[in-house]
Amino acid sequence: MILGNLFGKKDSNDPADENGKLGAFARLRKGLGKTRDALSSVFSLGRKLDDQLLEEVETILIQADFGPVVAMELCDDLRGAYSDREFLAAEAIPFLKERLRHRLGCGHSINWAQQGTTVVVVAGVNGVGKTTSIAKLAHQWRSEGRSVVLAAGDTFRAGAIDQLGIWSERLGVEMVRGEPGADPASVVFDAVETARQQQVDVLLIDTAGRLHTEKPLMDQLSKIGRVIAKQLDGAPHEVLQVLDATTGQNAILQAKAFNEALEVSGLVLTKLDGTARGGVIFPILQEIGLPVKYIGVGESIEDLQPFDPESFIEALFE
């Protein structure tokens, strides 16, 4: 427990499902374990909340990618509430939970189209788990009874088309593709037409992995957005950017750049189960105001889950 251990409480065993595998919440807790362990070395029962302690806490929060501004503000809040008296775990934990809960706000669901096809564009740099996240979203939405079509908008790499094609076969969903090197916007155009004609519930569009510093590719992303908007009123309904949680503060730079090319409506934060840097969610919200809509807590098809702020906070503390 991120702060439970801080106060001398023993960590409990991670709960498992009936197959002996860690549940989604348990995987989230496990992914934040390094941060919990670091903080547990700072606090102890009865230790006075002084400047030295707060400096140690601030350092650990920064290392966990809460960012210097968020870390400083949290420590200032603690200082104001508990200065010049003994540190009581029963008071401090609810206090910090409430501060973080306020920062995260409520959960943010997908902006489904009121009628017709919901168009979802998925973007991100290479290696963040973009195509896999698309497959997991398709699986989840199919499980909810929605019909899905995939669009292979990454025409720059033949391997990307093949990878998405494998997932479409596994999931039993149609995929619209073009030839390698074709104009991605033309593939997207065909995909929107296909989705409209077949009255599909969701069109999931893959885009080329690109660095946020690659202007021609970022311009191509903008073009895709314009093409979709001309074909379908109100579309794209979602532009989800996939970020790798292990990249820490660099994820913020990526989010800002992509948001300039095509207005991003939400984030998918992957690899959260393998990092001690889950705090990056807080500076992302503070600096650019983009909500985290999904988090990846494992490699299986079931391991992409809607971001639940309350569960996330509990995973930090319990």
Sign of the Cα torsion 213, 215, 216, 221 reads: positive
SS3 248: coil
What number of H helices and E strands is found in the chain?
Answer: 12, 8
Question: Distance between CA atoms of 183 and 124, rounded to whole angstroms?
Answer: 18
Which CATH code for domain 118-264?
A: 3.40.50.300
Residues 127-151 as b/e (b if ≥16 CB within 10 A, e otherwise) read: ebbbbbbbbbbbbbbbeeeebbbbb
23-66 pLDDT tens trace: 777 877 876 776 666 656 665 556 677 788 788 888 888 888 88
Gyration radius from the chain CA atoms:
21
Pairing between β-strand 238-244 and β-strand 266-270 as defined by DSSP bridges: parallel
Check if the beta carbon of residue 297 is closer than 8 Å to that of residue 27.
Answer: yes
Residue type at 285?
L
Could you say which architecture CATH assigns to the domain 21-104?
Answer: Up-down Bundle (1.20)
Q: Where in the chain is the domain with CATH 3.40.50.300?
A: 118-264
Q: Up-side HSE of residue 128: CA atoms within 13 Å toward CB?
A: 31
The tens-digit pLDDT sequence of the chain (318 residues) is 434 433 334 344 444 444 435 677 787 787 677 666 665 666 555 667 778 878 888 888 888 888 899 999 999 998 888 776 666 656 777 888 899 999 998 888 999 999 999 999 999 888 888 999 999 999 999 999 999 999 999 988 778 899 999 999 999 999 999 988 899 999 999 999 999 999 999 999 999 876 656 777 778 888 999 999 999 999 999 999 999 887 777 777 888 888 877 889 999 998 877 666 678 788 888 887 888 999 988 788 888 889 999 988 888 777
Which residue ranges does the chain devote to CATH 1.20.120?
21-104
